[in-house]
Structure 1
Amino acid sequence: MRINQLKAGAVLSYISMGLGYIISIIYTPIMLRLLGQSEYGLYNLVSSVVSYLGLLSFGFGSAYMRYYLCYKAKNDEDNIAKLNGMFLIVFSAIGLITVIVGTIFVFNIDLILGGKLTINELAKSKILVIIMVINIALSFPMSVFNSHITANEKYIFQKLIQMIKIIVNPFIMLPVLLMGYKSIGMVIVTTVLNISIEIANATFCFKKLKIRFSFRHFDFSLMKEMTVFSSFIFINMIIDQINWNVDKFILGRIRGTVAVATYGLAAQFNTYYLSLSTAISNVFIPRVNKIVATTNDNQELSDLFTRIGRLQFILLSLVCSGLIFFGKSFINMWAGADYNESYAIMLLLIIPVTIPLIQNLGIEIQKAKNMHKFRSKVYLFIAILNVLISIPLAKMYGGIGSALGTAISLLIGNGLIMNWYYHKRIGLNINYFWSQIVKFVPSLLLPISVGVLLNMFVELNNVVVFLESVIIYVAVFGLSMSCFGMNKYEKNLISKPIKKIIKKCKKYSQ
């Protein structure tokens, strides 16, 4: 029987994330206490700065997807082989450039990270940078294989490999931390695991997908075309780096590693929140490209955009409201009183980003239509505004100020400008989209009322009482959403798998 890769990929994504969250809940408090707040802040600071080297990919990964699917639709295996060869050459060169830039970074570490770090922290940061640069440099040429697997919609293999990594990571990381290697040990383990994943991807491509490479006749005209296409994706990558990493850099220079640690923990919650949405939309990237390449039907795209957006809203509204009502108590019990400020920072990050997260399939629609230039220009302006706002706010209010600057820029860029662009230029029916989202409002009234009452009358700092309260809230949310919010399609997505499991259990029990 043929397995539906889209559904299986989405299911495995959420199983993988669920495992990741459970492991993180157990592992992170131990890691925080073994590292200490200052060391954790240093790790976050260096990671945020080194991550800018990822910009050297120039957004070519999205270009690969677009051109691969065009050739695949024509069964043009020769051009696919040339495309693979071209990308391997380009990304290998980028990997070499990464090493050169990373070396310059190491020799100027004190100038880049500022005067708030101690001599010991600066020495340790150099080692961290070297290991992280090696990790990124190797990941560039190997990314061709991961892109090839995605383009072929082999999501089951991808998600299983990631799931194995999530499970294995803490079992290796904790002994390393207990032996006293701290942040340096963490980045070594991460690098080894990443290299192992890349080797597994390459092996799968050669043995199962029979990937071919052709290095003859490098197509410079195609390279130029892809560079133009990728240039605006590159701008988007810069924007994402500014929005999610510049605050740590600003805080590191203005306030030091402790402030970065507090912000970093909140940013970790935000990362989890982002992944909840993209796990659904990412598996629909090839489908969006196929629709655009064949019919380019805006009605079909609008329906898909709205259907996925509603599913994302159901999940994100549960998580977002849950964090509002229970996040403060959870952080206090989980990470300790030193991280209390992370609660306010977390909310300032996740609430505004909910709008683009329920619309992130629109980004792929823009790319497929080659109409992503406007978004890039607008977001670049907003990102610069974010920096200009965040610096004075960080001086006045620390991490909360930095997060507030990011929140303002996200609301302007995603909440207002991009919705106008989707409707007026891309051709998506945004009025229909929001009319479908607004239909969820009645289903939110009951769980919000329960959440308020629990916070008013229940002592949530007790672990047992906290868990009981969360279970009650989730149950009320699910019941209310099912009765007053979800449509038939959404209910079937939940009920059909449950019915199949019950049916199979009855069959085997007979």
Structure 2
Amino acid sequence: MKSGNKVVMNMGILYARMLITMGISLYATRLVLTALGAADYGLFNLIAGLIAMLSFLNTAMATSTQRYLSFYQGKNDLTMQKRVFSNSLILHLGIGIVIVSGLEIAGLFLFNGFLNIPQDRIHIAQMIYHFMSVTVFFTVIAVPFTGSLVAHENMLWVAIVNVVETLLKLGIAYLLYIVAQDKLAVYGLLTAGISIVSFLLYAIYCFRKYEDCSLKGIFSVETKLMKELTSFAGWNLFGSLCALGRAEGLAILLNIFLGTVVNAAFGIANQVAAQLNFFSFTLLRAINPQIMKSEGAANREKMLRLSMIGSKFGFFLLAFVAVPCIFEMNTILNLWLTTVPEYTVVFCSLMLCATLINQLTIGLQSAVQATGKVKAYQMVVGSVLLLALPLAYVLLKLGYPPYYVFIGYCFVELIACTLRLFFLKSIAGLSISLYFSNVIYKIIIPLCLLILTCYLSVSYLHFQFRFFFTGAAGVLVFATSIYLFGLCEDEKSFLKKMISALFDKLQARKQLKHV
């Protein structure tokens, strides 16, 4: 199967997964918020907020295994693929133990008057924290298996496991309405159990399906390879923890200054951003193995071209949904949630803006991973992301409204994007002018037309369920303008070939039915 066709097929699988899981997850969030109440839901997001971000941590760390497996697939070296997997499994077992130990040590101080938690809920908060540690451990040791699945471009099993996770979460949400025990404790326990189920599904499948996933040689650590994997995974983990530290740090700062109800608004904003980010994340997950394999095959020109395509189309796919949602956020949240906590609308809108900014260089992040030169990159960019915390502290201390924290968040994200450009220029020879020509300049006109369409809709139309019209009109205008102004000639040619191939297949099926 040609690489382009395989990317498109995997995108189709992942988008089907996304549509199923996003709808169910958003509905489950509504059920959980109603069952727990704003205060307990905010408490859960404060203490166990890492759980909501673990998919990001898992993906970032899986890049290490996936990068090396894809790299050696590009070289057609099965022996090295086996060695990479076994050493990666040992490494992530060690990482899981270290992270859980660190979390448990930190927990000794967090609940000793540091967090703003009602006295009668401290015991439950501590229980949730321990459940979170369990979730972290099983998520980390699942990384070699998810990395292997992505390297083999098997998005179908990834999609199946994600759907199972989502259905289990929905079941837990309904269970909260009938349990007699403390609902928050039950929610924390069962949510941790989902991570164990997911790990088993990934591990059993990979051991049965792939020759390179084997426990053979698991006790014979190869020092040189382990050092290379440790360095790569360690710096990726540093970058991931910086992003997680920013999110959790903001949650703690908002809690200290404003209490748990504002944490509920922050948790919902994270949930909305994470769900909508699936639109672009799906493309990146489908195209990532091809970026890594191109570097492994010493085809850097193709690798850079794919990374720019990933950045541009990642932005387009998120903007399709995010921009209309920003304009109709108040209506959407009121329909989705029974009670909308204060600041939720503005938090969600600004979080989506920050996510859109990140998409401008999302493919370039994969290109840096493909080169293997991640130490300086993660050290600098990760540290810059953490600047959002002192900036937020100063803004809250000076008495600015809490949404100013997210304006600062967007500003820091823009700095990080600029740094990624210069790092990839230094590491892999990226032409910044070519990036602007193929990505930024292609985005401007479609984005402006989409914003104008949504603005006119919300300003001059006033009827029930207007958000459907805003979304439909925005998609129509955006899709048309992307084709006219946002695509390069080779991308238009590829799109025409894919549409033509699809029609040919449909026509062939019709003919077979008539035979």
Q: Into which bin does the TM-score normalised by the smaller protein fall?
A: 0.7 to 0.9
CA contact (8 A) 2:280 2:318 kept: yes
SS at match of 2:384: helix
Deviations 1:454-499 (A, max 9, x none): 2122236x3x343344333333433444455445247438734763
CA contact (8 A) 2:385 2:416 kept: no
CA contact (8 A) 1:243 1:406 kept: no
**Long gaps (5+) in structure 1:** none
TM-superposed CA distance for 1:45, in Å, is: 0.4
- Identify the residue that residue 28 of structure 1 maps to in structure 2: 29
Structure 2 CA distance, aligned partners of 1:360 and 1:502? 34
Give the letter for the 2:235 counterpart: F
SS at match of 1:101: helix
The 5-angstrom pairing of residues 392-411 of structure 1 reads 392-395=394-397, 396-411=399-414
- Identify the residue that residue 295 of structure 2 maps to in structure 1: 292
The 5-angstrom pairing of residues 168-207 of structure 1 reads 168-179=168-179, 181-207=182-208
Structure 1 CA distance, aligned partners of 2:350 and 2:294? 36
Structure 1 CA distance, aligned partners of 2:60 and 2:154? 22
The 5-angstrom pairing of residues 349-498 of structure 1 reads 349-395=351-397, 396-414=399-417, 416-437=418-439, 438-459=441-462, 462=464, 464-486=465-487, 488-489=492-493, 491-492=495-496, 495-496=499-500
Deviations 1:132-179 (A, max 9, x none): 212222333333222222222222222222123324431343223443
- Identify the residue that residue 131 of structure 1 maps to in structure 2: 131
Give the letter for the 1:291 counterpart: S
TM-score between both structures, scaled by the size of structure 2: 0.87
- Identify the residue that residue 154 of structure 1 maps to in structure 2: 154
Change in Cα spacing, 1:273 to 1:367, as seen in structure 2 (3 Å) is: same
- Identify the residue that residue 122 of structure 1 maps to in structure 2: 122
TM-superposed CA distance for 1:345, in Å, is: 1.8
Deviations 1:37-95 (A, max 9, x none): 11110011012367899999997643333433455456555554444333333333333
Structure 1 CA distance, aligned partners of 2:206 and 2:446? 46
Change in Cα spacing, 1:276 to 1:358, as seen in structure 2 (3 Å) is: farther
- Identify the residue that residue 8 of structure 1 maps to in structure 2: 9
Structure 2 CA distance, aligned partners of 1:271 and 1:279? 12
Structure 1 CA distance, aligned partners of 2:92 and 2:446? 48
Deviations 1:199-231 (A, max 9, x none): 121211222214322134322233223333334
Change in Cα spacing, 1:383 to 1:503, as seen in structure 2 (3 Å) is: same
- 1:342 maps to which of 341, 344, 350: 344
CA contact (8 A) 2:10 2:155 kept: yes
- Identify the residue that residue 334 of structure 2 maps to in structure 1: 332
CA contact (8 A) 1:59 1:231 kept: no
CA contact (8 A) 2:364 2:420 kept: no
TM-superposed CA distance for 1:340, in Å, is: 5.0
Change in Cα spacing, 1:120 to 1:388, as seen in structure 2 (3 Å) is: same
Structure 1 CA distance, aligned partners of 2:90 and 2:54? 18
Aligned residues between the structures: 505
TM-superposed CA distance for 1:106, in Å, is: 4.3
CA contact (8 A) 1:81 1:212 kept: yes
Q: Which moved more, 1:142-151 or 1:359-368?
A: 142-151
Corresponding position: 1:251 with 2:250: no
TM-superposed CA distance for 1:112, in Å, is: 7.0
**Long gaps (5+) in structure 2:** none
Structure 2 CA distance, aligned partners of 1:92 and 1:252? 33
TM-score between both structures, scaled by the size of structure 1: 0.87
Structure 2 CA distance, aligned partners of 1:15 and 1:56? 23
Q: Which moved more, 1:200-209 or 1:225-234?
A: 225-234
Structure 1 CA distance, aligned partners of 2:23 and 2:311? 26
TM-superposed CA distance for 1:5, in Å, is: 4.5
Change in Cα spacing, 1:109 to 1:374, as seen in structure 2 (3 Å) is: closer
Corresponding position: 1:269 with 2:272: yes
Structure 1 CA distance, aligned partners of 2:71 and 2:486? 39
Deviations 1:221-274 (A, max 9, x none): 332233333343233122211333321121122221111111111121221233
Corresponding position: 1:218 with 2:221: yes
Give the letter for the 1:212 counterpart: S
TM-superposed CA distance for 1:451, in Å, is: 1.7
Give the letter for the 1:249 counterpart: I
Deviations 1:100-143 (A, max 9, x none): 334434443423752x2111221111111111212222333333
Q: Once superposed, what is the RMSD of the aligned Cα atoms?
A: 3.2
Structure 2 CA distance, aligned partners of 1:408 and 1:283? 29
The 5-angstrom pairing of residues 307-318 of structure 1 reads 307-318=309-320
Structure 2 CA distance, aligned partners of 1:424 and 1:140? 31
- Identify the residue that residue 302 of structure 1 maps to in structure 2: 304
TM-superposed CA distance for 1:509, in Å, is: 6.7
Give the letter for the 1:349 counterpart: M
